[in-house]
Homo-oligomer: A and B are copies of this chain.
């Protein structure tokens, strides 16, 4: 999103996070801008009885956690490394200075927020009014466009576990498994070697 050079010019540092390590926690006040160099980061919540909800999954070159940074509000969710991940971290003041000096970056930020909002709008209506199969298919089709699902001779490989699909759609893992089976029977996706293709 923002080039490594520009970030480092303003004082960004690279930091390594191990698998399952927390980058920042729900309820904390933001102090830095975060951008992924390599790896995979999820933003998620846990409800009262430990149930997880994944707000989003972020990959190489994507930033995360900006909204509360701009609003001076506490983080509404946790950021956790899904796998070992390298992240560029820039203090808020430096980030704001970078923005002032580079108006084109503002537009990039607006576009990224708009993209996130678009996903949230689409999934909100799915989660609250549609049935499991519909929700899962919407998530998958969105993922094909916006996540980095690779295409081979079987179609796009949906690089999510059943549990992750559940945590992204508000469904239980058993429900996801059964819905995916049913979708396969209907011929709208393929299951090869337990992996889902669309």
State the A residues within 8 Å of B (CB).
45, 47-48, 51, 53, 55, 66-68, 70-71, 73, 76-77, 103, 106-107, 109-111, 113-118, 120-125, 127-130, 169-170
**Cross-chain contact B77 with A121 (CB below 8 angstroms):** yes
From known contacts A53-B129, A73-B118, A128-B169, infer whether A106 and B113 are also in contact, taking CB-CB under 8 Å: no
Whether the pair A55, B110 counts as a contact (CB closer than 8 A) is no
In the complex with contacts A76-B122, A107-B106, A121-B76, A71-B127 CB distance below 8 A: no
Given A106-B103, A109-B110, A113-B117: A128 touches B170 (CB 8 Å cut-off): yes
Instruction: Determine whether the beta carbon of B77 is less than 8 Å from that of A118.
Output: no
Would A128 and B129 be within 8 Å (CB), given that A70-B114, A71-B111 are in contact? no
Q: Kindly provide the distance from the CB of A64 to the nearest chain B CB, expressed in whole angstroms.
A: 11
A106 to B107, CA, bound (A): 8
Complex contacts, A76 vs chain B, CB 8 Å: 118, 121-122, 125
